[in-house]
Structure 1
């Protein structure tokens, strides 16, 4: 019996087959139309080729469900409609030599064909000679203004992979707006409008008959216009003379540029590049133009640039990319160099004075750099005058030497460092009212006497804990530490509360004055203190203990939108109460949140002695523990619970805009006292400040030398 082994290798080369027409069309469509914004770019260019003066765009679901463009151009002939959506049908060229003198946007005749292969396409058009408009798919006739309306629906319905690769609807719509804005700036004589389907007002709207600068102002705002430079660029004199010669092949070209000066600073470079009115990209041109701002803009900032380059069509190749995104032209290096040199000259000829707008300035030390007459910089220590009986903050051992103290310090470098000096709050009658209004409802463990002054506050020691999740959370705090901001908060001087409802206060560090959001600082502080005391909290006992169900129910009833979405709020309350009661042993052991078997809240955790949270926020705190805490993961559970606890401790009113009575005013005074005498001393002692607080919560508003300059002018 013979055994034949099957071989997996083919016996010979595979046959070559002709692909089906539908497969060919979809492959070609994928090269041209890769996202809704690419389809819109082709449609806008067709409308501009039709000499339109008004282009209206409507979008739904980022252009996937609907992408419609309506123009008032010359329209499409009736006889051309049968082949309108076929490949390689165009009115722009007839022979290959026409590419060398091309002045239109489109020329290959693949845009509409590609769209029809991957979407449902309909066209409504009317020429000046037609009395009725024609719809290419339904062959209907109706009255309509001159022009064409093209509607694309269900884009990529038959290519699910391409559809799945798209980003969200909002990001795709942002790309569409970017395309519309760029063409609106380059074509200010055309009125552009782009809006979402069903929206009453457009997101982009420009009038017809304006100029480029006006279009930039309408799209990018008034701020950029005051820093905008304009330049018209031509070849050098030698190039111009040679171009007039008979045997020179240098291309005739010109350019117009709008670009920002040294006062404008953006995070990302914006370059609008048009070559022969075609929106293109060029990494070489972008790199060269960015190079002219080196040494002009601070590191990490970028300019805005719009460049329109006109080149002899015979010197340019437009057919190097399926989407016409790139072009090639002769003498590219010389033209780019001329562009960069001309724009750089215009930039440097402007006034060298700059206007700086800054938000934060963290010195991070006590050394200043001073410049001698020869221009050489050297570090020189700043000495501080010390008031009688005062304490010095941030001074070094070198400053204590006889040589250092003998130096005469200018008045504009003197810094108040004594804690005994007056604050803003000391100018008004301030009580010592911490816990005055809450003694009837709470009893603080280990602290029955009146609150001591901050100097006698005991150290908050880090609890012993071997849980990996807690150790990881503690380690994460150190990784996010911002050393300069931490130093400022450690050595700050409290100046006063600016706005209690908005949680704004003033602090001073060295020669700088900072406006801080003490609510954001407090939330981070209480989270870190909660993590520091994990499993070893003191307790605030509630007398008499309130019902957990009543507290949660109260918060659920006043929560906005709950009754609209869930008519039966009792089910929500029961679910939250069940979640907390099932975990009451863990809550009591780790967080000192005690709920007895009868569903009464006996105690809540005490994070900072001499500081009592606003108990009006207790129902909201308990209600948020249900949906906001991730109970399924240990580390995320501990982190989210401590974040909610920190939010509960933030010294802010439950209703910021509420009109206060006499009793509420006493509570406000108690809050002010706690912020000054408990919160800010704890901030200087314990907080490890993360960099995220610099975004909007710590802002420098003044510094002593600059203030002296202002007063010297008076």
Structure 2
């Protein structure tokens, strides 16, 4: 080794930036948190997160906020650039999330970053890509006009591609994705009037799906389930002027579990200080210690708490990832909070609910205990009061939704499965853009949501199919039994899936015996135009049948790019006089719609869809697609062979409903007021006990 003394030299700028990036972005969830906070700061009302490979391959955040000005885009990813600070003293009163100008810069040094953004004043959206903090292509050529809506789409790809040591240190993709879901979940609980959803690219649905209008208790219900939401009590500490002045505590609000909550799993407390998600170990230990007096050994509470402290008393810049904050008078503030929680739990302890096994010898006592438990839950749960499922119409008044134009089903006929080449369950690359018309249709569904119906379907226990011809199934919810028209339910479900996954469906490839597509004209002509019984049904609404050649050309040949782009319906129009259908969309993996209604679907598209208006056109197609996906009614026949076919069909249908459709309903379905007439209460446990008593 040379004895010559080494000189102190400044590090290369690229090395400095990589070190800074490593301090801030430890894992994909850190990057997501930074980007999520920026979207919230931009006054977004809807934030959508798309993830691939745990956020390493893709991390995409789409919001409908104010957007980024075009003139700010060249320095968007430069270090220490921000619109929220001017001088150091501004840190003392900072009230926003992202503020140091480091997040995007750091991410751009360890990932490939691209941005699509549009402000309300812009006539189009602008797209730019970044590397190493600098815009690719320069200020002149790096910003390109593209189609887009108001807001920002920020795409982070190949995270840590140039830091292999950090990449190797990451956990599995599933674990990293779980951390991302946790971050989105906690912000979706805290930030009101903002809708959140999070999903894997190509996944089966949303892992977080919180509506914009949902209350905080409903948000907790969506994320953590009803067992927690039903046992929450409000925490709202009154802060007097002396406390505010001496300690700087402005407010302390939240939701905490009551003394009847039974849970052995550790749920990390959710703490927000000045709207920032933080870890506060002293507060966590103090609150958990209080609960130790009231809960059985080994049981853990649920705690969500939001503190507002005077900004000048809080140092938000003590941790690179902003995970921790420091604030003055920490011990005094924690003591105040703990004393208040102790008072609340002490008052509840006199009416704790203990679950005990009932001896079935006294039905009157069981009925009284059931009513008592329900009344206690009602006292401690305002949500139950507001959204208890109302008494619905009696079964005799059920109004059925039939496809009156549908050809009678015959299960001895060919099924669509025989036309499938090889089901391709892979979803196309997710498109970041959403049409305004689709967004409007989504908002329309949400505006007609019914909390009681949504709650019933999200918490139901599936019983079974009651009637295949009328398409009725049984569900249990709480102590009630319901009869549901699963035809109507599937119709609404597939329409909502169509809106949620618009332009990102899977694909079912189809072909005839010659390995060609199915002739659209032949299907309509043979099954519809050639069937007098079906035509008579349509004559009520159609004065004359449209010319088949013209209608098929207008609806399918001229619009084939639209069909493929938005619906994954591919049309081979090499012979314009005889276009062929070569694929259909896959709405739910594992479920293939009935071949019997394909010709009807094609015919209704050319007669029921308004092709002059974009929103009505796309909404109309999605409605017809949903109707096509509704399972067939199954009729019992006198013929023994037909009955054997029907029994096989019933077995398949039971499997589809129980194992494919209802799990999706439970996880992502929004109950609407359109279903109120299709859900009927047929039995309730307290009433049955009274009947048994009289017997």
User: TM-score of the superposition, structure 1-length normalised?
Assistant: 0.47
Greater helix fraction, Structure 1 or Structure 2 = 2
User: TM-score of the superposition, structure 2-length normalised?
Assistant: 0.48
Of the two, which has the highest radius of gyration? 1
User: Which has the higher relative contact order, 1 or 2, with Cα contacts under 8 A spaced 6 or more apart?
Assistant: 2
